[in-house]
Amino acid sequence: MPVIYAHRGHAMRKTYRFALNHAEEIAAILSAHKFSNPVFVEEYAKEFDLTIGGSPVGKPTLLDMGAILNELEALFSARVQFVTTNSIPYEMQDLVKPLVEEDHGA
């Protein structure tokens, strides 16, 4: 699946602590659109304020990914990039920080 992103104004770069504080909200948004196991990705793309990743559940569409972006950007007033966790290169896996305990049942 491709990386989806959008630009809506400029905000300050969000931190892992920020993402952890909003983990339940992020998880709920991802879950509503066929993704699980939300993660924060540090310094993945500097042109974004926040990079969130998730694991697909079933067959999410690009519309699901776009909806995730719209909801996260509206919630945080930030430039958000959403990536599937399997699109992050192995060499960059150390940048991936879990936001919730991994759901193995999804």
Q: What are phi and psi of 7, to 5 degrees?
A: -115, 130
| 69 in any annotated domain | yes
**16 has a pLDDT exceeding 50:** yes
| 16 in any annotated domain | yes
| 104 in any annotated domain | no
| 99 in any annotated domain | no
| 100 in any annotated domain | no
Q: What is the pLDDT of residues 89-103, one digit of tens each?
A: 999 899 999 998 765
User: What is the model's pLDDT at position 5?
Assistant: 46
Q: What is the pLDDT of residues 56-89, one digit of tens each?
A: 999 999 999 999 999 999 999 999 999 999 999 9
Mean pLDDT, residues 21-49 taken together = 93
CATH code for the domain in which residue 30 is found: 3.30.460
| 29 in any annotated domain | yes
According to DSSP, the β-strands at 4-5 and 80-84 are antiparallel
* Residue range(s) defining the domain that contains residue 79: 4-94
**Strands laid side by side in the 35-41 sheet:** 4-5, 80-84, 50-56, 35-41, 96-98
User: What is the model's pLDDT at position 59?
Assistant: 95
d(CA 33, CA 56): 9
